[in-house]
Amino acid sequence: MYIKFCRNYLIGEEKEKGPDESKEYEEVQRGIRIYRTMSIILFVLTVILAAAVIALCASKGQIRSTCLNEENQEKDPSDVCSVQLCNELYPALVPQKKDTGCHRCGQGWLQFENWCFLLSDVRETWSRSREQCRKWGADLAVIDNQQVQAFLTEKGSLVYWIGLSRSTGGEWTWINQTVLADSYWAPGADGENCGCLMGKQSPGSNWGSAPCMYYTAYICQKMV
């Protein structure tokens, strides 16, 4: 009877302790899950922060490697920096054999053959467009061959004044005083006094005309 009693007592004791041990085990497992979750979150945040730091450093390096005159870059898109100036300012960031960010024509200009072209997105009258081009050492574009015509048509996406106007005698002449020879008029589009080019159209027939006081974009041209 004594042995039987003891065994019953032990079994009962185990039954009473069982729920507590199970509860403690669940709390430990819950703590482990919380720890793992927090570890994953901290790892992801660390990766994101590292990527942001790398991107910021890269953007700063790109900005520093562009040698522009900050006082004039908004006033004059023809502002040009020389390779020598780039190397003096940023010798470690501008390798000799790579693109220095300096362009012969100037920031915002496009080079084609021996010419530099600026396709403005600012709208002015024909005469004010020409005045602005002259401030940059250029003039309105003269299109005297098919290659230039095709290039400007491909690069442009707006309607642009070009250096073509009708004289008092009714002839179309360029700003360099040459009479228009080859032309690329759209059908019936030469009825006004100032000529324009329509970008992204067929280069064989994308010239138009408008009153010279109308406002539209313009193309400047200068020697390289």
Question: Residue 52: its pLDDT value, please?
Answer: 75
Domain ranges of the chain: 109-223
pLDDT at 4: 47
- CA-closest candidate to residue 124, choices 116, 112, 109, 134: 134
DSSP character at residue 198 = E
* Distance (Å, whole) CA 221 – CA 75: 17
The alpha carbon of 65 is separated from its chain's Cα centroid by a whole number of angstroms, namely 16
From first CA to last CA, the distance across the chain in angstroms is 116
Global model pTM greater than 0.85 = no
pLDDT band per the 50, 70, 90 thresholds, residue 23: confident
22 sits in which H/E element:
helix 2-64
Q: Is pLDDT of 9 > 90?
A: no
From 3.40.50.150, 3.10.100.10, 1.10.8.60, 3.40.50.2300, which CATH number describes the 109-223 domain?
3.10.100.10
Taking 90 as the threshold, does the pLDDT of residue 83 lie above it?
Answer: no
Report the mean per-residue pLDDT for the chain.
78
Question: What kind and span of H or E run contains 114?
Answer: none
